[in-house]
Structure 1
Amino acid sequence: MNDKNPEVLRIERTDGVDWVTLNRPDRLNALDDRLVAALTDYARGLHDADAPRVVVLRGAGRAFCAGLDLDGMRSGDALTADALLRQQTAISGLILALRRAPQPIVGLIHGAACGGGFALALASDIRIAATGARMNAAFIRLGLSGCDVGVSYLLPRLVGASVASELLFTGDFIAADRALATGLVSRIVEEADLVAAAEPFIAAMLAASPIGLRMTKECLRASIDAPSLESAIAMEDRTQVLCALGGNLAEGIAAFREKRPARY
């Protein structure tokens, strides 16, 4: 199929923030090979020295992401096990790359976020939804398991086992108001206000020390899976020592006392 715009992923950097836009609006930003490859390459590059401090992920047009582009996918009957595994691990590798990124990722969710699009939303650290957003784990509706591309790991950690089981067993949609009630998103706003709603989060994160922000994401990700409180505290202790080195703590205290923005 031909996209109206061959640039399937748009990236705009402004003041340390990358605004990353899925750009296949005529296909509701469905994930084809090109978009998966472009987004994966981008996510893996987030460890580079010139990487942004914050990433905002959004979709062009009427939806965030409608999931896998089924029109560009061959039937499983026509593929070997090796080919199916390559197809599967391409998108699961994308989710891993996003979760491993050192930057906080803010997902702006509007319209549909289905299947792989739902996984992209879950891979974000902060999710802000438009009032008309609808999300679902569509996989089970296609004859597959409801557990795919990291959703079975991420979803119950956000909404608990019961709600996650409901959504994975049925493939039912969760609307914005219930997503807010279950903790799946941080807030809901009108679609036109999504960027404005993200700006206070972005400003607060940019005001933190670069290493403090990065280590917070790393520590939080590890603590969610920590086997004990002691393990989480041990990681926190080491994180705070690393962040205090190089004058960050002294500057933070000085800025607090002098009632000015910190200069890290």
Structure 2
Amino acid sequence: MSEYRTIRLETDARGVATLTLARPDTHNAFDAEMIAELTSAATLLATDEDARVVVLRGEGRSFCAGGDLNWMRAQRDKDRAGKMDESRALAAMLGALNRLPKPLIARVHGNAFGGGVGLLAVCDVAIAVEGVRFALTETRLGLIPATIGPFVVRRMGEGLARQVFFTGRPFDTDFALRGGLIGMSCPPEDLDEQVEKAVADALTGAPGAIAAAKRLCLDLGAAEPETLAEHTAALLADRWETDEAQAGIEAFFERRRPPWSVRD
């Protein structure tokens, strides 16, 4: 049993590690503590010989709602260097999970927004319940999905990413399947069975060979997303300082429509 506060980490006798986002009261939204704890857990799992497969899941109604409201307030009040530090920390966390030398399987029982989509983009297999929703809503706040962007574009491809980066409109499991963000969808009652099948498949391979095969996939793909962290941190810091972002964030905090919005 882990001693973390925002996540839980448990490994069973088979070598299946369960990494749980444990902030159900905030829909498992990221804050600085959760980002640090997920980074720590990923680092630990990378060298834990007892852990052969990792299942990522969330508590409560949602898988992950993205950025925590108070964390976003704290970012707004930081100077440019502070904003970039927060972006680097998030990129480092996603990079650590992306490089994890063991299968990372997402159990998606509820909605995933913003950074939650980024989490799915670094998983090897994601299995979602039919009817869950996904969205990248940053532009509605006057921001951009900069830090998670390289991971999402690498997973979904530029063409499909363009369709969800701009509007912030939620998309369903059918679109997520076409974009490769998830590997399959199923009725709620079948979710655990399908996750278990994915786990069983992962346990049939030699751990060293699986790690090497995953490294091969990363090497054969485009530039690793984490290498773009400095560039995306600067882009996001730039957006934070715009009048649009100031107006959009204030509207979000006050639960009202931003000035440019002409519909819900």
State TM-score, norm by structure 1: 0.77
Cα contact 1:56–1:106 (8 A) shared by 2: yes
Larger mean Cα displacement after TM superposition, 87-96 or 58-67: 87-96
- Superposed CA offset, 1:241-260 (max 9, x none): xxxxxxxxxxxxxxxxxxxx
Count of aligned pairs: 219
Whichever residue aligns with residue 33 of structure 1, its letter is: A
User: What does residue 252 of structure 2 align with?
Assistant: none
Cα contact 2:97–2:122 (8 A) shared by 1: yes
**1 or 2 for the larger relative contact order (CA 8 Å, sep ≥6)?**
2
Larger mean Cα displacement after TM superposition, 61-70 or 170-179: 170-179
- Superposed CA offset, 1:161-197 (max 9, x none): 2221111111221111222233321110122322210
- The offset of 1:51, in angstroms, is 4.9
Work out which of the two has the higher radius of gyration on C-alpha atoms and give 1 or 2: 1
- The offset of 1:91, in angstroms, is 1.2
Cα contact 2:90–2:147 (8 A) shared by 1: yes
Cα contact 1:95–1:149 (8 A) shared by 2: no
Q: What secondary structure does 2:116 align onto?
A: helix
Cα distance in 1 for residues equivalent to 2:35 and 2:125: 21
Whichever residue aligns with residue 154 of structure 1, its letter is: F
Q: Establish whether residue 9 from structure 1 lines up as the match of residue 3 from structure 2.
A: no
Cα contact 1:106–1:126 (8 A) shared by 2: yes
Cα distance in 1 for residues equivalent to 2:78 and 2:213: 42
Match runs of 1:51-70 below 5 Å: 51-70=50-69
Q: Establish whether residue 193 from structure 1 lines up as the match of residue 190 from structure 2.
A: yes
Cα distance in 2 for residues equivalent to 1:184 and 1:57: 15
User: What does residue 160 of structure 2 align with?
Assistant: 163
Against the structure 1 CA distance between its residues 225 and 34, is the aligned structure 2 distance closer, same or farther, given a 3 Å change threshold?
Answer: same
Structure 1: stretches of 5+ with no match in the other structure? 1-5, 227-264
Cα contact 1:17–1:56 (8 A) shared by 2: yes
Against the structure 1 CA distance between its residues 155 and 49, is the aligned structure 2 distance closer, same or farther, given a 3 Å change threshold?
Answer: closer
State TM-score, norm by structure 2: 0.77
- The offset of 1:49, in angstroms, is 4.3
Match runs of 1:116-135 below 5 Å: 116-135=115-134
- The offset of 1:90, in angstroms, is 1.5
Whichever residue aligns with residue 206 of structure 2, its letter is: S
Cα distance in 1 for residues equivalent to 2:92 and 2:50: 20
- Superposed CA offset, 1:122-161 (max 9, x none): 111111111121111222222112x32232x233333332
Cα contact 1:54–1:202 (8 A) shared by 2: yes
Cα distance in 2 for residues equivalent to 1:209 and 1:36: 30
Larger mean Cα displacement after TM superposition, 57-66 or 164-173: 164-173
User: What does residue 46 of structure 1 align with?
Assistant: 45
Structure 2: stretches of 5+ with no match in the other structure? 224-264
Q: What secondary structure does 1:56 align onto?
A: strand
- Superposed CA offset, 1:53-96 (max 9, x none): 11110110100000010233336553211111112212111111
Q: What secondary structure does 2:11 align onto?
A: strand
User: What does residue 139 of structure 2 align with?
Assistant: 140
Against the structure 1 CA distance between its residues 208 and 164, is the aligned structure 2 distance closer, same or farther, given a 3 Å change threshold?
Answer: same
Q: What secondary structure does 1:185 align onto?
A: coil
Whichever residue aligns with residue 138 of structure 1, its letter is: T
Cα contact 1:31–1:116 (8 A) shared by 2: yes
Q: What secondary structure does 2:126 align onto?
A: strand
Cα distance in 2 for residues equivalent to 1:175 and 1:98: 24
User: What does residue 83 of structure 1 align with?
Assistant: 82
Percent of residue pairs identical: 34
Against the structure 1 CA distance between its residues 204 and 143, is the aligned structure 2 distance closer, same or farther, given a 3 Å change threshold?
Answer: same
Whichever residue aligns with residue 178 of structure 2, its letter is: A
Whichever residue aligns with residue 150 of structure 1, its letter is: I
Cα distance in 2 for residues equivalent to 1:87 and 1:137: 19
Cα distance in 1 for residues equivalent to 2:75 and 2:199: 42
